[in-house]
Amino acid sequence: MDMALAVFPSSKSKLRKTQTRSLGETRQHKCGQKHTGKRSFINMNFSLCLRSPIASLLVHFLFVFSTLCSVHSSQFGDHHLVANQTFRPKEELRKLNAIRNRLQRINKPPVKTIQSPDGDIIDCVVSHMQHAFDHPLLKGQKPLDPPERPRGHNQMDDGDLSENFQLWSFSGESCPEGTIPIRRTTEQDMLRATSVRRFGRKKIINRVRRDTSGNGHEHAIGYVTGDQYYGSKASINVWAPLVENPYEFSLSQMWVISGSFGDDLNTIEAGWQVSPELYGDSYPRFFTYWTTDAYQATGCYNLLCSGFVQTNSKIAIGAAISPTSSYSGGQFDISLLIWKVIF
């Protein structure tokens, strides 16, 4: 079964700017010498109001002695640190090699690069060079034209709305014709993962549940069953919820499934998520996911594995969404449309 996905914003809200100030403080000592709040242990400026030359000489000797000891200790510590960086365990070297090999498969050579305000790098990659075509069933093929939308859904609900709802596009730059925007995956992204082998995949679930109970996984679900469905559409309010630690996440998504909730579960998922582990920050980001075996060995987030073919040249899967909704303020939605393509 071939499925298609479309996404576009349905409302906008004002952006807020935050200003930060740097405060420097100084302090005045009784001896009349001015000191700043920043101090360095070795390069230390100080004055002593001592009238006794013996006491002054003793203090000076103690200070010189302690400084020499500190420098010796610091040099020894630096040598130890360099040794650790130079002679890494074999396991660590294997991990780094695995990461670099994986990055070479994920990140394809771009024809243009765009720097996003949030720190992301967006690569404009020729469509038929994207990671999807590394899949054995797609090798040597080229992407088809974007599929026609279902009848009655050819136009956006709110008229002439822009697809510029992601931070990277605010600069006004875009990818050339024949290319797609792809968020570049970094070494830091993979080092945050609990497993390099399963990077970009959900954790293996013994049994997928549709209800709201689970081990620490709190969620609410609305669903329909019992008929034949050829697609689904949803408008999802976008927020930037706070997650308490790097391994927590929060999301809102549309979930189209087939099969039972056993090992034959097939899903196509799309929405927004806040996931510091996957992205390294707390921005809400547009994401997709798919699996054909209940998250066991197939599927992944976004374009982090082969299989999902992207045709849109204006939306980067995995990139940050902006603006977002605020309490008692502006509201912002994205509309998602997933439908079955019949050739």
Question: What is the tens place of the pLDDT at every residue in 45-103?
Answer: 333 333 444 343 333 333 333 333 333 333 333 333 344 455 567 888 899 999 999 99
Residue 161 in domain: yes
Most confident of 145-154, 221-230, 256-265, 279-288: 279-288
**Domains in the chain: how many in total?**
1
Rounded to whole angstroms, the Cα distance separating 170 from 174 reads 10
Range of the domain at 314: 2-14+106-341
Contact (Cβ atoms closer than 8 angstroms) between residue 334 and residue 236:
yes
Question: For 313, phi and psi rounded to 5 degrees?
Answer: -100, 5
Residue 214 in domain: yes
Rounded to whole angstroms, the Cα distance separating 303 from 193 reads 16
Q: What value, to the nearest 5°, has the Cα angle with vertex 332 and ends 329 and 333?
A: 150
Question: What is the tens place of the pLDDT at every residue in 230-280?
Answer: 889 999 999 999 998 888 999 999 999 988 777 889 999 999 999 999 999
Range with lowest mean pLDDT among 31-40, 283-292, 300-309: 31-40
Whole-number average pLDDT of the chain: 77
Rounded to whole angstroms, the Cα distance separating 183 from 244 reads 25
Q: N- to C-terminal Cα distance for the chain?
A: 10
Rounded to whole angstroms, the Cα distance separating 287 from 236 reads 13
pLDDT-derived band at 150 (thresholds 50, 70, 90) equals: confident
Rounded to whole angstroms, the Cα distance separating 93 from 86 reads 11
Rounded to whole angstroms, the Cα distance separating 213 from 248 reads 17
Name which of 314, 319, 307, 247 is nearest 276 in CA terms.
247
- pLDDT of 88 reads 64
Residue 101, by phi and psi: left (phi above 0), alpha (psi -120 to 50) or beta? alpha
Question: What is the tens place of the pLDDT at every residue in 105-116?
Answer: 999 999 999 999
Residue 71 in domain: no
62 Cβ neighbours under 8 A, 6+ residues apart: none
pLDDT average, residue stretch 207-216:
60
Residue 290 in domain: yes
Residue 111 in domain: yes
Rounded to two decimals, the pTM is: 0.72
What does the block give as tokens for 273? 């998520």
Residue 99 in domain: no
Residue 86 in domain: no
- pLDDT of 1 reads 52
- pLDDT of 212 reads 56
Residue 335 in domain: yes
- pLDDT of 151 reads 81
